[in-house]
């Protein structure tokens, strides 16, 4: 594939217009939108407007005047077409880890008497830690199995299965329908972590029978560092499930100020405390970058980008790197990982040359492709720089070996 081919693909890209929705530094190839989405061009004005015209001018009246009180559901509605859910099944709240705790706890409570939470070995750490903490508290056990053992491990003792849909390292993803069906057959619930799925691939939570899910706001959804997370509870479970973090915002009448908790109807019962309005303003700008974007086109572009990158890296770097993601683009999310024994240093050298990806222990260089702003030409340019760094051993310098706190 030549640069001309890549330029031709970019010229025919139906999503090319979306890159202007972002403010990206010049001379940077940003392949870390799966960790921290690039800043939408509209975000600074959204934050400034919320601060200056709402908070500053209208002070506390803003909760009514600007409808702040409804933002967790109003903004969640913008997520609905991205994940294939009904707006009434989604809520923006808390952080990813906290949302996971809430739904795992609600699900185990709803399946009282069952002793096991099933998860996957090498799941994202927070997912395992949250499950372990909850299990300790309730006297349950966490059984973490290999990905291909999940369905077989589900039995009558399983209260909940919790899985990251698209693996944060390999980008392999689960068949949501198959796992959900296996769990439902025994009466267990499934909580999906969609952190590397939402905004990256085509999702149909409703159509695949998913019942519970959570996900991250600051990755592909471009909500800004530490953005609020989201949770999804299928309508038929909203009545049955109870929030384990009962707060006044999830009360049926928060402003009645009564002593006894009475849950709000529907998804609202999963709110806990006062929503973070400035963070929600940024998340809304992030979700608005998906306006008018058919998720099918986005997924197709994701596969086209990653496939070009994989082919070009393998053609240029040969055996020096090993693809540690599924080879079939239909089997992976929107990132790819390549293993290299000195992956950390190679990634630091790449970053120094303006190609920003990240490193995941023990030896994985991770490259995330955001179809809203990455281009085919960037795939070739980055592969060329990587090949150059490897052949010249540019990575083998003390400054690239020093481990930073965040990798």
Q: How far is the CB of 250 from ligand PLP (least distance, A)?
A: 19
Q: Is residue 306 a contact residue for ligand PLP (CB under 6 A)?
A: no
Q: Which has the closest alpha carbon to 118: 100, 131, 136? A: 131
Q: Is 366 a catalytic residue?
A: yes
Q: How far is the CB of 308 from ligand PLP (least distance, A)?
A: 24
Q: Which has the closest alpha carbon to 371: 2, 26, 38? A: 38
Near ligand PLP in 183-212, by CB under 6 A: 193, 195-196
Applying CB under 6 A, the span of 55-63, 124-132, 291-299, 364-372 interacting with ligand PLP comes to 124-132
Q: Is residue 220 a contact residue for ligand PLP (CB under 6 A)?
A: no
Near ligand PLP in 323-362, by CB under 6 A: none
Applying CB under 6 A, the span of 92-100, 113-121, 272-280, 392-400 interacting with ligand PLP comes to 92-100
Transcribe 341-375 into DSSP letters.
TTHHHHHHHHHHTTEE-EEETTTEEEEE--TTT--
Q: How far is the CB of 25 from ligand PLP (least distance, A)?
A: 22
Q: How far is the CB of 289 from ligand PLP (least distance, A)?
A: 19
- Is the N-terminal amide bond of 259 cis, ω within 30° of 0? no
Catalytic residue among 78, 114, 143, 219: 219
Near ligand PLP by CB under 6 A: residue from 15, 74, 126, 208: 126
- The neighbouring-strand residues paired with 367 are 336
CB 244 within 8 A of CB 101: yes
Catalytic residue among 94, 193, 312, 358: 193
Strand 158-164 and strand 116-120: the pairing is: parallel
What strand order describes the sheet that includes 189-193?
90-93, 229-233, 212-215, 189-193, 158-164, 116-120, 141-145
For the chain, the residue count is: 407
CB 249 within 8 A of CB 111: no
Q: Is residue 221 a contact residue for ligand PLP (CB under 6 A)?
A: no
Q: How far is the CB of 405 from ligand PLP (least distance, A)?
A: 15
Q: Is residue 367 a contact residue for ligand PLP (CB under 6 A)?
A: no
Transcribe 222-286 into DSSP letters.
---TT--EEEEE-HHHHTT---SS--GGGBS-GGG--SS--BPSGGGGG--S---HHHHHHHHHH
Q: Which residues fall within 8 angstroms of residue 59, CB to CB, at 6 or more apart?
A: none
Q: Is residue 238 a contact residue for ligand PLP (CB under 6 A)?
A: no
Near ligand PLP by CB under 6 A: residue from 88, 95, 238, 304: 95
Q: Is 193 a catalytic residue?
A: yes
- The neighbouring-strand residues paired with 229 are 93
Near ligand PLP by CB under 6 A: residue from 22, 124, 395, 400: 124
Catalytic residue among 218, 220, 373, 400: 218
The first and second tokens of residue 11, run together, are: 């010229």
Q: Is 124 a catalytic residue?
A: yes
Nearer to ligand PLP, 331 or 397 (CB): 331
If binding means CB under 6 A, how many residues of this protein chain bind ligand PLP? 12
Q: Return the DSSP state at 172.
A: B
Q: How far is the CB of 90 from ligand PLP (least distance, A)?
A: 17
Q: Is residue 132 a contact residue for ligand PLP (CB under 6 A)?
A: no
Applying CB under 6 A, the span of 95-103, 169-177, 255-263, 325-333 interacting with ligand PLP comes to 95-103
Q: Is 174 a catalytic residue?
A: no
Nearer to ligand PLP, 124 or 395 (CB): 124
The first and second tokens of residue 321, run together, are: 């790197």
Nearer to ligand PLP, 278 or 300 (CB): 278
CA distance 212 to 189: 8
Nearer to ligand PLP, 236 or 405 (CB): 405
Q: Which residues fall within 8 angstroms of residue 255, CB to CB, at 6 or more apart?
A: none
Q: Is residue 54 a contact residue for ligand PLP (CB under 6 A)?
A: no
Residue 346 φ/ψ, nearest 5 degrees: -60, -40
Nearer to ligand PLP, 54 or 96 (CB): 96
CA distance 316 to 309: 10
Catalytic residue among 22, 366, 369, 400: 366
Near ligand PLP in 144-183, by CB under 6 A: 164, 168
> Which residues are tagged catalytic?
124, 193, 218-219, 366
Binding footprint of ligand PLP on the chain (CB under 6 A): 95-97, 124, 126-127, 164, 168, 193, 195-196, 216
């Amino acid at each position: 594939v030549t640069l001309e081919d890549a330029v031709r693909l970019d010229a025919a890209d139906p999503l090319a217009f979306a890159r202007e929705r972002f403010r990206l530094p010049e001379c940077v190839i940003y392949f870390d939108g799966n960790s921290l989405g690039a800043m939408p061009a509209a975000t600074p004005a959204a934050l400034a407007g919320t601060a200056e015209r709402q908070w500053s001018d209208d002070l506390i009246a803003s909760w009514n005047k600007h409808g702040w009180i409804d933002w967790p559901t109003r903004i969640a509605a913008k997520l609905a077409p991205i994940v294939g859910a009904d707006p009434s099944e989604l809520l923006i709240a808390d952080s990813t880890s906290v949302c996971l705790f809430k739904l795992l706890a609600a699900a185990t409570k709803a399946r009282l008497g069952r002793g096991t939470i099933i998860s996957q070995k090498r799941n994202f750490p927070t997912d395992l830690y949250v499950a372990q903490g909850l299990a300790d508290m309730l006297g349950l056990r966490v059984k973490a199995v290999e990905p291909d053992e999940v369905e077989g491990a589900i039995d009558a003792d399983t209260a909940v299965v919790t899985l990251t849909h698209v693996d944060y390292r390999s980008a392999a993803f689960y068949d949501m329908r198959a796992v959900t069906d296996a769990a439902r057959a025994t009466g267990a619930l499934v909580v999906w972590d969609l952190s590397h799925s939402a905004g990256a691939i085509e999702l149909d939570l409703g159509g695949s029978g998913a019942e519970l899910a959570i996900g991250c706001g600051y990755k592909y959804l471009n909500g800004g560092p530490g953005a609020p997370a989201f949770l999804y509870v299928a309508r038929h479970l909203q009545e049955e499930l109870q929030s384990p973090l009962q707060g006044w915002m999830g009360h049926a009448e928060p402003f009645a100020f009564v002593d006894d908790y009475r849950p709000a109807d529907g998804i609202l019962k999963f709110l806990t405390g006062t929503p973070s309005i400035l963070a929600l303003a940024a998340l809304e700008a992030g979700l608005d970058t998906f306006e008018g974007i058919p998720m099918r086109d986005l997924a197709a572009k994701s596969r086209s980008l990653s496939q070009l990158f994989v082919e070009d890296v393998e053609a240029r770097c040969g055996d020096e790197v090993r693809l540690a993601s599924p080879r079939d683009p239909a089997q992976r999310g929107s990132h790819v990982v390549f293993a290299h024994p000195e992956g950390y240093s190679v990634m630091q050298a790449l970053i120094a040359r303006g190609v920003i990806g990240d490193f995941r222990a023990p030896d994985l260089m991770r490259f995330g492709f955001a179809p809203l702003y990455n281009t085919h030409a960037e795939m070739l340019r980055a592969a060329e720089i990587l090949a150059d760094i490897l052949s010249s051993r540019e990575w083998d310098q003390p400054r690239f070996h020093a481990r930073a706190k965040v990798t």
